[in-house]
Each structure stands twice: as C-alpha cells, then as structure tokens.
Structure 1
Amino acid sequence: MIATSSRKAMAGVAALAALALAGCHPPHQNPSDKKVDTAQSQDAGSLKGAGASATDATNVVEADQQATTTVAAEEVPSLNNCAAQGLVRPTRLTVDCENQDDFLEDIVWDTWDANLAEGTATRVVLSPDNREEGVKVVLGNPQVVDKELVFTSVSVDGTNVTPENNY
C-alpha cells in the first residue's frame, strides 16, 4: 500500500512538473507579436537588387558620390589654420605657422558662404616690427578634407599665402 501511494505521489509530482513546464516558454523567446527574424540563410534571389548588373552597381556608387558632393556643397566651409581645425569666422589667423611671427588679427568678415570668405584685418609681422591695417583677406577653393568641407586657399591683399607650408 505504501508503494502504491508512493507511485501515485510520484505520478502526481511528475504531472505537476509537466504542467509547469508546459506553461513556460524557452529562454529568450519573444511573444509572437514581437518576433525577430533570425534566419541563418537566405535565397540570394530574394534580396533587393538581385540580378542587378555591374553597370547598375556603378550607377548606385556614382549617385552616392554625387549626393555626398551635393551635401558638401550645401555646407558652409570652415578653415584649418596651423594646428586649429574647423574655424568659422575666426578673428585671428596665422600666416606663418612655423615661426608664428606673421598673423592677421581683428578680422571682420564681410562674407562667409559656401564658395568664398572675404574680410579685412590688421596684419602684424613681428620681425621686422610692422603693423598694417585694412588688409583684404580672402578664403576660397573649398574642398572636402578629412570628411570636412574646408577652404584650401588663403589670400592676403591679393597674394596667395600657405601658412602650413612654412613647417
């Protein structure tokens, strides 16, 4: 009689365990309305662009490059001057990065747009001691450099200067 009761008890425990497990779901399983596609393989023909030619791929790359150029053209360029990068309407620029003895100060920008920046400044040359007011500063030739649109030419009173080349 004890053996029969033990068997019934064990059967009851097993039945309860089975019911408890049936009510559970496997770990990391999401409710059906929130399932995530976890496919390990896919038919290549079902992918977007399947069957596209190399010409189509080239056209896509060219379109992406044109879009990048258009976005860059709409940006307002900045200026890299010596160690300073991303300058917009700076009030001071160095003309000689190596010696730091020729610079423009008190710059007032009349124009700063996608193609050109123009302003006037005071040019200070420390050796020999010289200070000239009202010099014209022009920044131009915007180009994408390190993924940023920057002015790449600097002109002071009509003379092109290259501050960084003095290193």
Structure 2
Amino acid sequence: MNKRTFATAAAALSLVLAACTPPNENPSDLKVDTATQFQAPTSSARPTLDTANLPGVIDCVGTPDYEPTTLSLACAGNNDRLFNIDWETWTEESATGIASRETNTCDPTCADGTFETTRNVEVELSAPIQGPNGLVFTALTVDGEPIVI
C-alpha cells in the first residue's frame, strides 16, 4: 500500500469512526435530568476536635498533642511505637483508638534487632491531670497492658 492510499484509507476510517456513537447513547437534547442536587460537605465527616477543655498527650517531651497519629512507647531508643492511630473517642476522661504497633526484637541487640508489626492493637489514654502545659493524660494501655508514659 502506497502512502497516498494509506492516508486516504486512514482519513476515511477516521470519518467513519467520528460519525459512530456508542450503543444506547441518546443525543444530548434527548437526555433526561435524573440526578438530584448534591452539595459537597464543607468539612470532613469527622467533627473538629474542640481541645479547649480536653486533655492532650505528651509524646516523650514537648507540649500536649490531640489525636496524634503516632506515639513512642520507648522514648530513649524508639524501639517500640504506635503508628496509624485511628482515635475513636477523645473525651475529658479518656481517649480510645486502634493502631499498629512496631516493636524491635532487640535480638541479639537493639541495634541489630528486627522490627515486628502488630496490627489492630487497642489503645487507651486515661487519668488526666493538670500539668504546666495544660491538661494531659498520664496513663496509657495497649491491649490492656499498662505502658509508662
């Protein structure tokens, strides 16, 4: 096939394809409006946390934080931590959520150990007290096991 024949065939095929419509497609002037009005939410589905009277949690050092996504359980070496924390409640008395826990086996040493991950651990903060930086939780349990914070 020479170039001219190929170009003519390609142009003809393009014209035929452009004239085709997908099956069951109606011309735009025959379409019926079936959608209802939709207004996108102005904020996320989860209400904003008003932290004015709520305790926070201090992750090793610093100021209280609210609903952090990570918490260190071993501040000295960071060999034990919670991550991807999904807080279900955060009140004046306690906070509860689900997280993943990453722990170093420290075998044969912490420097040469491997990290193991446990998913869906239950996290609870409680026992709030008034500290120099505001109200803070002082007790933490992971799967019912108390952790010193």
Q: What range is the shorter-chain TM-score in?
A: 0.5 to 0.7
Confirm whether residue 134 of structure 1 aligns to residue 120 of structure 2.
yes
- Ranges in structure 2 where 5+ consecutive residues have no aligned partner: 1-51, 106-113
Tell me by how many angstroms 1:126 deviates. 2.5
Select 2:68's aligned residue among 69, 86, 90. Answer: 90
Q: Equivalent residue for 1:30?
A: none
Tell me by how many angstroms 1:85 deviates. 2.1
Q: Equivalent residue for 2:79?
A: 101
Q: Is the 8 Å Cα contact of residues 124 and 142 (structure 2) preserved in structure 1?
A: yes
**RMSD of aligned Cα (Å):** 1.4
User: TM-score, length-normalised on structure 1?
Assistant: 0.51
Question: Aligned partners of 1:129 and 1:78: how far apart in 2?
Answer: 28
Q: How does 1:13-92 map to 2 (within 5 A)?
A: 75-92=53-70
Residue correspondences, number: 90
Structure 1 residues 147 and 94: CA distance shift in structure 2, 3 A: closer
- The letter of the residue matching 1:159 is E
- Ranges in structure 1 where 5+ consecutive residues have no aligned partner: 1-73
User: TM-score, length-normalised on structure 2?
Assistant: 0.57
Q: Which runs of 4+ in 1 moved over 2 A?
A: 126-129
Percent identity over the alignment is 30
Q: Is the 8 Å Cα contact of residues 96 and 125 (structure 2) preserved in structure 1?
A: yes
- The letter of the residue matching 2:120 is G
**Larger proportion of helix:** 1
Question: Aligned partners of 2:97 and 2:72: how far apart in 1?
Answer: 15
Q: Equivalent residue for 2:139?
A: 153
Tell me by how many angstroms 1:148 deviates. 0.7
